[in-house]
Amino acid sequence: MTPKATAIILARAGSKGLPGKNHAIVGGKPCIQWTIDAAKAATTINQIIVSTDDPEIITIANAADCTVVERPKELAHDTATIDSAARHAYESTDSPDTPIVILYANVPVRPDGLIDQAVNLLVKTHCHSVQSYTNVGKHHPWWTVKIDNDGTIHPWQGDTLYHNTFRRQDLPPAQIPDGGVIALTPDALMQRLNAPEGPHSFLGTDRRGIMTNEGEVIDIDTHIDQLVADAILKERTKERLTTEGTEITEKIQTGVEKERDGEYADLTHKIIGCAMRVHQELGPGLLESVYEVCLLDELRNSGIQATNQVCMDVKYKDRIVRSGLRLDLLIEDRIVLEIKAVETLKKVHQAQLLTYMKLSNCKIGLLMNFNQSTLKSGLKRMVL
């Protein structure tokens, strides 16, 4: 059984390249939150420590139930080493005798399972450190040059420009650290292994690596990095919510209902995916009208025909009664969607939805309570 590890997230306030990057919003969350979430999702992590001198980061870390170590000024400038900050955090929390995982707060994109993979290899091989690497791609050292002030080009090494290699596929394999994860032993971090002196002596002498694919780790150093990470995370979130919408639709359907509304299933889970995106963006606590307008936009942007505040007249025998009733959303003239922002859904809300379904001749109805921590806990689906 792999022993539980201690994660140390490094989140310095200052940054010359992109000030405030560690708490900047990326993919709808503060940048560091993605790293905190990755650490919480790892099965090998037992404790999460955040080392920072940033008041905003402290607030985020406390809200996430992380242990906060306030970093002193002498370890918070741009020349301070990462291992010195990690040692300070480690020693400030009783120096647990567990594997250590160093994570950077400015890395919001990393593949699932990367942290566990590093810790498991560290424990299995009894090495001193495990670091994640990716292929250098077109920025290969063989294609590196030096340019003089007059524009003259020289090979970085040797006498032959580009090593006489012009096709990318002919380059020998070469990797660089990508910043995704560093797992190491306490002895390595505390420099008790007589490793050669230098800025990376904290990695010990037996150093191992794990590979990530191109683009799987995004280390934010520039505004371009931030834009790329933001786009990737938003797309992942959209895909995840759409998948969850499908799963929720399937969970709340009985076997009989699946037979009766199989033709509606795809549309239903798309609607739920849209609603979950709205809920994730806005959260609970707003008026029903706000959720209605935002969901209407989300549905239409997804190519779904929807109309809001649709008047419903009541037919009584041979008479049409102008009731003044309005259903919140009518979707493709097939599904009625009623929005609530209440403490809890009640039977009267379900009765109202059934009435609207009958009046509109729709066989499917969705009741959504946005005043919940998660939308799926406030979701009710009804079939006539």
Count of structural domains, the chain: 2
Same domain for 290 and 249, yes or no, is: yes
| Angle at alpha carbon of residue 190, lines to 185 and 194, rounded to 5° | 90
Same domain for 270 and 212, yes or no, is: no
- Looking at residue 297, what is its pLDDT? 95
Residue 198 inside a domain? The answer is: yes
Gap between the Cα atoms of 22 and 206, Å rounded: 31
In tens, the pLDDT along 27-72 reads 888 999 999 999 999 999 999 999 999 999 999 999 999 999 999 9
Distance, C-alpha 74 to centroid of its chain: 32
Q: What is the DSSP letter of 157?
A: S
Gap between the Cα atoms of 45 and 39, Å rounded: 6
- Looking at residue 247, what is its pLDDT? 58
Better-predicted residue by pLDDT, 373 or 13: 13
- Looking at residue 3, what is its pLDDT? 76
| Per-residue buried b or exposed e for 307-328, using 16+ beta carbons within 10 Å of the residue's own CB | ebebebeeeeeeeeeeeeeebb
Rounded to two decimals, what is the model's pTM? 0.64
- Looking at residue 132, what is its pLDDT? 97
Same domain for 299 and 199, yes or no, is: no
Same domain for 87 and 186, yes or no, is: yes
Gap between the Cα atoms of 193 and 6, Å rounded: 20
Q: Which of 164, 196, 221 is the last residue of a domain?
A: 221
- Looking at residue 214, what is its pLDDT? 82
Same domain for 187 and 334, yes or no, is: no
Longest dimension (CA), the chain: 97
Residue 151 inside a domain? The answer is: no
User: What confidence category does residue 351 fall into, taking pLDDT thresholds of 50, 70 and 90?
Assistant: confident
- Looking at residue 137, what is its pLDDT? 80
Better-predicted residue by pLDDT, 205 or 234: 205
**Residue 97: pLDDT above 80?**
yes
Cα dist. 343→274, 278, 284, 369, 370 in Å? 22, 18, 10, 8, 9
Residue 168 inside a domain? The answer is: no
Better-predicted residue by pLDDT, 214 or 341: 341
**Residue 360: pLDDT above 70?**
yes
In tens, the pLDDT along 227-250 reads 888 888 887 777 666 655 555 555
Amino acid identity of residue 191, one-letter, is Q
Average pLDDT over residues 312-332: 81
Same domain for 126 and 262, yes or no, is: no
**Residue 263: pLDDT above 70?**
no
φ and ψ of 318, to 5 deg: -105, 15
Residues in the chain, total: 384
DSSP helix/strand/coil, 164: helix
Distance, C-alpha 382 to centroid of its chain: 32
Residue 162 inside a domain? The answer is: no
Cα dist. 272→2, 129, 346, 367 in Å? 39, 44, 20, 10
Same domain for 199 and 240, yes or no, is: no
* Owning domain of residue 60: 5-136+174-221
Gap between the Cα atoms of 123 and 382, Å rounded: 51
Q: Which of 188, 206, 221 is the last residue of a domain?
A: 221
Alpha helices in the chain (DSSP H): 31-41, 55-63, 82-91, 114-125, 186-189, 223-252, 255-260, 265-282, 288-301, 347-360
Same domain for 238 and 103, yes or no, is: no
Beta strands 67-70 and 45-52 are: parallel
Residue 71 inside a domain? The answer is: yes
**Residue 264: pLDDT above 80?**
no
Residue 154 inside a domain? The answer is: no
Same domain for 126 and 17, yes or no, is: yes
Distance, C-alpha 84 to centroid of its chain: 28
- Looking at residue 260, what is its pLDDT? 47
Average pLDDT, the chain: 87
Same domain for 197 and 262, yes or no, is: no
Q: For the domain that residue 67 is a member of, what is the CATH number?
A: 3.90.550.10
Same domain for 196 and 90, yes or no, is: yes
Q: What is the DSSP letter of 81?
A: -
- Looking at residue 255, what is its pLDDT? 44
Residue 311 inside a domain? The answer is: yes
